[in-house]
Amino acid sequence: MVCGGFLFPIINTMNINTMKKTGIFLIIIIAILGIIVFFFPEALYSNAFGQKVLMKIEGEQVAEFYYKENQIGKDTIYMKGIIYANTLEDIKLVLKENPEITTMVMEYVPGSIDDEVNLLASQEIRKYKINTYIPENGMVASGGTDMFLAGKKRAVHPTAKLGVHSWSGGNQVALDFPRDHEEHEKYLSYYTEMNIPLDFYWYTLEAAPANDIHWMTTEEIEKYNVVTTNPYSQLLEIQKTLASDAFKGRATGNNKEAQNLITNYFNRIGLYKLTDNYSIPFTFIDEDTKKEREGINIVGYVKGKINPDKYIVIGAHYDHIGIINDTIYNGADDNASGTSALLFLANYFSKNKPKHSIVFAAFDAEELGLHGSKAFVDKPYIPLKDIKLNINFDMISRNPANEIYVVGTYPFPQFKSTIATVAKTSSLNVSYGHDNPNDKIKDYWMHSSDNAPFFEKGIPNITFSEEDHPGYHKATDDYDVTNHDFYIDVVKLINAFILSIDEEFPKSKS
């Protein structure tokens, strides 16, 4: 109104001739602008919309926050895309209008194009005490990693990737500035506020240059407090994932999801391979159909630093019985527990190098007749005589009485004193047995699990397992009813046992 009222009297005082001239002049101006925009379209972006930088990142989406289908109003919000100018306003709005949100799952956040906004938006996340999580196969890097650190509690799925690198501005890179230079200040004060050790910042500058990325190792993630979870929560997390419905009960021939999880994990922690691949296919005759079938063992190893040609083979079957009459048998205890323990220990020994080589073998087709472990000893890729011990885990997470059986010290008594010594430091009820064929009370387990093929080849073996429970081979073998503390204690016991055996290998008395 103000503008129109001002123009009106001017037009009134113009004569017709002046109006014609002005019209022609305006048409020429519009034509010139049209030509400029046609040939130089970026002229439109340069000062107005703040989207010019976006055009430089081909195919990248700007950050969006959203609920998953059927989860509107729930406590988890999801995030995907590059952090940019609007992210601060977006995040403020999302958190203000949805007070029920406690967790932000960062699925794919490859960076930020506005660090100023990023740090402010991240402070907002911390202000609302939101937890951050990077899910299975998730990827968060660079400025995304800074935002992840704003989570009050922070966790990273073992298959997810978390990337860090240095920064650059103009022709200078971060490392050109002395440590006390003010250029570092905004990052350092941000990490201080987020309670991240300042070493983390200097480490990111060295990890990779600004135009490259370094994917953090599990060890680095733990070292710099990047996650707030302890290592045993990762043990539980993987067990829970393997025993989720998405893994369809892991029946041989229908357990690709479990295979991918295990191979990705081996790959991520950098295990050596016995063949070209971690996956080692084998065939066997199905006892029901008498037809040939295929199974896939997944095997990797850590090289011993003193006796690399002597092996401890750690085995656990990852298969279960799958879907029966439309019901998924998740097999959380049998044997997602053993499989997750296998991965946990593989990770541990890849960081804490043993004296002897340790092979980690996730066996398939155990439930169909121990076929994976049979295939392994029939075609071992390492001389059987160099396998000094096989350790097997099968069902180690469910026993309300806190009782774990160590099976195999009757035929292989040389291991008894080592296990008894480490058992003293544990709150578990460590029992022995199920390994004497003359025992009339306890059934004989030396032929019941993946230890059997090793036993039959004369290779010493120790199995950790609990007594059968009501959920055994039932659809009720679920993660929710396992005993987490018991399970963690069993894994600690096994870890201590392996460390002790590796330190000084007991001599056979026979």
Binding residues for Zn ion (CB under 5 A): 334-335, 394
CB 414 within 8 A of CB 486: no
Q: How far is the CB of 447 from Zn ion (least distance, A)?
A: 13
Most distant CA atoms of the chain, gap in Å:
121
Is the bond leading into 335 cis (omega within 30 degrees of zero)? yes
Comparing CB distances to Zn ion, the nearer of 157 and 250 is 250
Task: Choose between 239 and 335: whose C-beta lies nearer to Zn ion.
Answer: 335
Distance CA(112)–CA(339), nearest Å, equals 37
CA distance 189 to 34: 48
Q: Which is nearer to Zn ion, 335 or 340 (CB)?
A: 335
Virtual CA dihedral for 469, 406, 311, 437, nearest 10 degrees? Answer: -90
Measuring CA to CA, how many Å separate 144 from each of 18, 108, 359, 433, 490?
59, 9, 36, 52, 37
Closer to Zn ion at the Cβ: 215 or 472? 472
What's the rounded Cα separation, in Å, for the pair 315 and 341?
10
Q: Which residues, at least 6 apart from 448, have a Cβ–Cβ distance to it below 8 Å? A: none
* Min CB(373)–Zn ion separation in Å: 11
Gap between the Cα atoms of 496 and 349, Å rounded: 12
Q: Kindly give the pairing relationship between strand 387-393 and strand 461-465.
A: parallel
Tell me the three-class secondary structure of 126-158, residue by residue: HHCCCEEEECCCCEEECHHHHHHCCCCCEEECC
Q: Please, which residues have CB within 8 angstroms of residue 400's CB and are 6 or more apart in sequence?
A: 483, 486
Taking the C-alpha atoms of residue 396 and residue 489, their distance in angstroms, rounded to an integer, is: 10
Bridge partners (DSSP) of residue 82 are 62
Q: Report the nearest approach of Zn ion to the CB of residue 461 (Å).
A: 15
The CB-of-369 to Zn ion minimum distance in angstroms stands at 12
Which pair of structure tokens corresponds to residue 403? 């009782």
Closest contact distance (angstroms) between CB of 338 and Zn ion is 7
Choice between 259 and 397, CB closer to Zn ion: 397
Closest by CA position to 405, among listed 373, 449, 344 = 449
Please enumerate in sequence order all residues whose Cβ is within 8 A of that of 32, keeping only pairs 6 or more positions apart, or say none. Answer: none
Query: Are 434 and 407 within 8 A, CB to CB?
Result: yes
- Find the shortest distance in angstroms from Cβ 262 to Zn ion: 16
Minimum distance between the CB of residue 339 and Zn ion, rounded to whole angstroms? 10
Taking the least distance from each CB to Zn ion, the nearer of 204 and 392 is 392
36 vs 324, which CB is nearer to Zn ion? Answer: 324
Question: Minimum Å distance from CB 319 to Zn ion?
Answer: 9
- Comparing CB distances to Zn ion, the nearer of 335 and 483 is 335
Q: How far is the CB of 395 from Zn ion (least distance, A)?
A: 6
**Residue among 390, 397, 373 at smallest CA distance from 453:** 373
- Of 84 and 344, the one with the shorter C-beta distance to Zn ion is 344
How far apart are CB 477 and Zn ion at their closest, in Å? 10
Nearer to Zn ion, 115 or 334 (CB): 334
